[in-house]
């Protein structure tokens, strides 16, 4: 379980936006690995960079971690969940696209933790930790634009057209294991923290991982969440008994308001 940032301020409603003092880190952080992987990604055939950008996000599929790297130093590490089907950029593949991207848009700046999005628009609903069978897009949305033609950009391989996001999830208990239909899922506190520390245009690179032969069973427990025509997201998870045991814990999820 990742270490969680400290809440400096929580408004009286009890389930509201937070400010974070300390960058989140997982307990098994490997800063040297993160920077080395980012440097290696510069040699990708479609890399648009000859040197590391001043700030970038590295998604390490093998470790199911997202690293924030600034000036070639790792400053934060977050637990994520990438696609259950592995890595691949093809349209309809239900995989997380590999390679270099950039943040195309930041959506949800003024929304509370747990705000529910559909087609990248807040619905006004707020998830408060209750068990729900749906796979929700929550809190913040960072849309991704591919930068490698034929890999994650262009007809049949376009990350933006596939509605690949970084976003919060209502299945935080399943982070650290692949499980989405392409998106990169984070805990809601983590995605809110990340949103405030990156900008549109910042580089994102997805490294490691392989396509998996076994996809999540749509007939099994839980429901899939597709972008579809509406483009509400490309994530998918199965619910589990664990998701029904979520508790309000400091730094993990704010308690429900009694107001």
What is the pLDDT, as a whole number, of residue 99? 98
User: Is 107 in contact with 215 (CB distance < 8 Å)?
Assistant: no
Domains of the chain: residue spans and CATH: 7-244 (2.40.440.10)
User: Is 201 in contact with 102 (CB distance < 8 Å)?
Assistant: yes
The string of DSSP codes covering 135-191 is: --EEEEEEEEEE-SBTTTBSTT--TTTTT-EEEE-S-GGGTTS--BSS-EEE-HHHH
What is the pLDDT, as a whole number, of residue 134? 84
Q: How far apart are CA 147 and CA 109, in angstroms?
A: 25
Per-residue pLDDT tens listing for the chain (259 residues): 444 443 333 322 333 333 344 667 777 778 999 999 999 999 999 999 999 999 999 999 999 999 999 999 999 999 999 999 999 999 999 999 999 999 999 999 999 999 999 999 999 999 999 988 788 999 999 999 999 999 999 999 999 999 999 999 999 999 999 999 899 999 999 999 999 999 999 999 999 986 655 444 444 444 344 343 344 444 333 333 333 333 233 233 433 322 2
What is the pLDDT, as a whole number, of residue 212? 56
Q: How far apart are CA 50 and CA 7, in angstroms?
A: 38
Fill in the DSSP letter of residue 241. G
User: Is 127 in contact with 121 (CB distance < 8 Å)?
Assistant: no
Global pTM value: 0.76
3-state SS class at 213? coil
Torsion angles phi and psi, residue 73, rounded to 5: -130, 135
User: Is 106 in contact with 200 (CB distance < 8 Å)?
Assistant: yes
Beta 203-207 vs 55-60: how paired, if at all? parallel
What is the pLDDT, as a whole number, of residue 211? 60
User: Is 48 in contact with 174 (CB distance < 8 Å)?
Assistant: no
Beta 7-10 vs 18-20: how paired, if at all? antiparallel
């Amino acid at each position: 379980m990742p270490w969680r940032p400290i809440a400096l301020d929580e408004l009286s409603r009890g389930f509201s936006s937070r400010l974070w003092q300390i960058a989140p880190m997982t307990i098994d952080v490997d800063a040297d690995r993160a920077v080395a992987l980012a440097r290696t990604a510069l040699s990708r055939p479609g890399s648009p960079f000859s040197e590391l950008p001043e700030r970038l996000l590295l998604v390490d599929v093998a470790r199911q971690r997202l690293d924030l790297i600034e000036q070639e130093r790792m400053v934060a590490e977050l637990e994520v969940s990438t696609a259950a089907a592995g890595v691949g950029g093809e349209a309809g593949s239900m995989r997380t696209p590999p390679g270099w991207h950039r943040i195309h848009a930041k959506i949800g700046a003024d929304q509370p933790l747990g705000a529910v999005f559909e087609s990248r628009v807040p619905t006004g609903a707020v998830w408060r930790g209750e068990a729900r069978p749906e796979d929700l897009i929550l809190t913040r949305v960072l849309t991704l634009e591919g930068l490698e033609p034929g890999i994650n950009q262009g007809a049949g391989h376009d990350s933006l057209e596939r509605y690949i996001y970084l976003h919060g999830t209502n299945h935080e208990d399943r982070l650290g294991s692949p499980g989405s239909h392409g998106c990169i899922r984070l805990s809601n506190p983590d995605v809110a923290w990340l949103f405030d520390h990156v900008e549109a245009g910042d580089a994102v690179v997805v490294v490691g991982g392989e396509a998996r032969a076994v996809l999540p069973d749509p007939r099994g427990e839980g429901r899939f969440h597709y972008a579809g025509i509406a483009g509400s997201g490309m994530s998918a998870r199965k619910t589990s008994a664990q998701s029904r045991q979520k508790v309000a814990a400091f730094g993990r999820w704010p308690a429900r308001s009694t107001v």
